[in-house]
A and B are shown apart, each in its own frame.
Chain A
């Protein structure tokens, strides 16, 4: 059973022989049936808003009380909201509201609005939880409203109105950012924004008041909670408008960095040629470009037929990269935010709910171009430590060594004492020829840099 499946008694996800299945439990059978017969599933699949599944047969059930077992199509790579850039989180929020709107059309609704129910595939968000639907009482407020605000609206508001790096707070608050906390962090002017004022500030106040009131008798509390269908739609419309109104324009040191490299035209051409040759020599199908910036070399890998995850620590660069690739006709690149010096850890209950960066499979090849000097000098990691981490990430690596005499490395050393005696090409060879075997070493023309193709021992 998937360790993230324990929260919802309606069903769970499990693997058998490497294949992913979802079991639907008896008490959820009526909702599941209604979802199937409403035509909603077909409409969502037709517009690529939810992953498809096929019926798998009850004999595959992994436990008692199964009402159905399905086999969802697997998404290639599972990413988490704290690894998404602003527009990815916004896209996931809009997808969730769109699905809720269509569910209401079909007499149903989303039972939850968790950001973890969304993944990215082929340049767009997609809902992966087929079991999120229930028959709706349209006069009842949306039970997932609070979760939507905490998982989506709160981090988006902080990213748009305070600092885009607030997205990383989702790492600490894996079930959404508490609204009272968000209300304190947001600038006062957000109270003048109708949507944020209602769904964050008033919402935080309503939660505070409710918490200090004695628990009401269940029937009385329920009787009060009635809204009209128009009210239901108006609320959803307001959430959609509020999310659409949140904006972020990337501008950062790093996003400009690719335009300000130390390379001459001849150097750039030579580096590109070498990277293409090495990618062809590997002949794989998946690549991770680490320190991808806005994705110049990710695009090269995609052109060579690779499906690429492009990691970068800078949220602005990832934003710029995502905006560029999401509109591609055949998007093969997924940009994500990650600081390799402190990558996504295992998180949640028993440290098993969300897998770590290293716990989500490995690509055929990793690219670390113009990265090693940032790790070794910017972050003081000795070269053997860099080599060991790379060897845990991928069986093959294309790594660029940037020596001390390079202007970019000199810039890193400009304001500090050079304590890096072992940082040299000899030191690089010694460090990597251990966890890896050096398959090819090729100097970049018109540049002091060298490219290595490495294979894990």
Chain B
């Protein structure tokens, strides 16, 4: 942990992330690989980028 971490990350919150990361990584990986593959087939130039969620994501992209 960096020297200046000033908020309490919470040990339960850190541990939960370890578990969730393990569980979520598998579907995420496949969605990204398959999604990217499909987009590459369709010839999308942005194929390397991970899929973005939410139709109303605020920042302009």
Contact indicator B12/A141 (Cβ below 8 Å): no
Min Cβ gap B30→A in Å is 11
Min Cβ gap B44→A in Å is 19
Contact indicator B12/A210 (Cβ below 8 Å): yes
Min Cβ gap B32→A in Å is 8
How many contacts between A and B, using CB within 8 angstroms?
150
Interface residues of chain A: helix, strand, loop or mixed (majority): helix
Interface centre among A143, A210, A222 (most CB of B within 10 A): A143
Contact indicator A235/B20 (Cβ below 8 Å): yes
Contact indicator B59/A94 (Cβ below 8 Å): yes
Please, what's the 1-or-0 string for A129-167, where 1 marks a CB less than 8 Å from any CB in chain B? 000001100001111111101000000000000000000
Residues of A within 8 A of B9 (CB): 141-146
Known contacts: A111-B6, A203-B13, A222-B1. The answer to whether A233 contacts B59 by CB under 8 A is no
Q: How large is the interface on A (under 10, 10 to 19, 20 to 34, 35 or more residues)?
A: 35 or more
Contact indicator A206/B15 (Cβ below 8 Å): yes
B7 at the interface (CB under 8 A from A): yes
Residues of B within 8 A of A227 (CB): 17-18, 21-22
Interface residues of chain B: helix, strand, loop or mixed (majority): loop
Contact indicator A111/B24 (Cβ below 8 Å): no
Contact indicator B13/A228 (Cβ below 8 Å): no
For residue B56, which residue of chain A has the nearest CB? A244
**Residues 1 to 43 of chain B near chain A (Cβ within 8 Å):** 1-18, 20-22, 24-25, 27-29
Min Cβ gap A320→B in Å is 15
A440 at the interface (CB under 8 A from B): no
CA of A237 to CA of B27, assembled, Å: 11
**Residues 85 to 134 of chain A near chain B (Cβ within 8 Å):** 90-91, 94-95, 98, 111-112, 124-125, 134
10 pairs from A and B in contact (CB 8 Å cutoff): A8-B4, A95-B58, A111-B2, A112-B7, A203-B12, A228-B21, A231-B21, A231-B22, A241-B54, A244-B56
Q: Which B residues are within 8 Å of any A CB, using their own CB?
A: 1-18, 20-22, 24-25, 27-29, 50, 52-61
